[in-house]
Amino acid sequence: MARVLSCIQPTGEVHLGNYLGALRNWVSGQHNNDVFHGIVDLHALTITDTPGVLGQQTLQLAAILFAVGLDPQIATVFVQSHIPEHSQLGWIMECTVSFGELSRMTQFKDKSAKREADFVSAGLFTYPALQAADILLYDASEVPVGDDQRQHIEITRDIALRFNHRFGDTFVVPKAVTPPTGARVMDLQEPTNKMSKSGDGEAGIIYLLDDPASIVKKFKRAVTDSDNEVVFDRELKPGVSNLLEILGAVTNESPSALATTYTQYGKLKQDTGEAVAEMLRPIQTRYHELMADPAELSNLLALGKERASKVASATLARAHSAIGLYPSN
Ligand code: TYM
């Protein structure tokens, strides 16, 4: 049984990329592994400045995580800010990573460029150190994520190895696990960009809570490629390949095999839209049921906090002792 950890930020609405790239695999992994999944509200602070928003988004995200099928009896679902060890180990991680390494992170470069005229917080820059703390606190050997998180897991490995080398074996060195299909779901309107919470238009993003009619409509309007041939080739035909990849992820078939069964873009768009809408329907029903009882959601998060705290506090104590900080009595 592997120890697994992965997290999601409570910013914007959860979309199909989050689901196919990460959440769905968290659910399937919970039966064979010891899994921890965090709602990382402190990470969201790097770009949040409106009071009162994060708490509500945290509750909604908790409802989504249980609605997609995480079972609170076997999966530990917690809120990052409820476990102070994340911030505490985060500082130690900041002292274990270099300025140069952080400067090379593509997400920092992209996000800070997008926010050029805005406030670019130091937290946006040191973000990967906090993410390393999230992972290393739980002795996770596997981190199920979408493709865009690979660089963050790589830097976490480097940090863990460096700490272990300096202070003796303390942290488990984790590896990223990405799904064979759905690891990089692209925007339906701009299929060379990944589907993203900070995407420019709504039309290219399928939200988990979109109603079935809008889902089908968004797929109908998806940008495809100029000729009319249905082939799976991400480089030459990004639009069609994205649809094939999504349909493949939903139906558990290979995108290239699916390509041979279509001769028209229209039918492919229709089938993909319907398959996604059907997949999301029960999740949406369950989400609304869960949101009707926020007290119960709070109880589930309290249960997660209790279990996560035990592991996190033991790891932080181990790190302090490896460094040789003077113990309190
Ligand atoms: P976040 O909140 O942006 O995304 C959550 C998960 O969704 C995946 N994902 C995608 N997968 C496929 N296609 C897409 N278009 C797509 N967009 C997003 C992400 O890869 C991710 O797995 N930094 C992280 C949160 C984090 C974390 C961690 C993750 C903080 N601490 C520790 C793992 C372990 C983030 O912003 O994910």
SS (H, E, C) 211-224: CHHHHHHHHHCCCC
Does one domain contain both 172 and 258? no
Q: DSSP secondary structure string, 254-282?
A: -HHHHHTT-S-HHHHHHHHHHHHHHHHHH
pLDDT single digits (tens) 85-129: 999 999 999 999 999 999 999 999 988 888 777 889 999 999 999
Known catalytic residue at 237: no
Q: What is the pTM of this model?
A: 0.96
Does one domain contain both 28 and 139? yes
Known catalytic residue at 194: yes
CATH number at residue 239: 1.10.240.10
Known catalytic residue at 305: no
* Average per-residue pLDDT for the chain: 96
Long-range contacts of 249-256 (CB under 8 A, 24+ apart): 249/20, 249/179, 249/181, 249/182, 249/185, 250/20, 250/275, 250/276, 250/279, 251/275, 254/181, 255/181, 256/232
Does one domain contain both 129 and 165? yes
CATH number at residue 172: 3.40.50.620
Does one domain contain both 15 and 86? yes
Beta carbon of 146 within 6 Å of any ligand 1 atom? yes
Which residue's CA lies nearest to atom 4 of ligand 1? 8
Q: How much distance in Å is there from the Cα of 189 to the middle of ligand 1?
A: 21
| Tokens encoding 298 | 């709070």
Nearest one of 77, 71, 62 to 290, comparing CA atoms: 62
Does one domain contain both 119 and 25? yes
Residue 328 lies in a domain: no
Does one domain contain both 169 and 311? yes
Average pLDDT over residues 241-263: 97
Residue 67: which domain range? 3-182+294-323
Which of 109, 111, 267, 310 does the annotation list as catalytic?
111
Burial letters for 247-272: b for 16+ Cβ neighbours within 10 Å, e otherwise?
bbbbeeeebeebbeebeebeebbebb
Residue 145 lies in a domain: yes
Does one domain contain both 117 and 167? yes
User: Is-contact 139 174, C-beta < 8 A?
Assistant: no
Residue 128 lies in a domain: yes
Does one domain contain both 156 and 220? no
In the block, tokens 């988990």 appear at 208
pLDDT single digits (tens) 1-31: 999 999 999 998 999 999 999 999 999 999 9
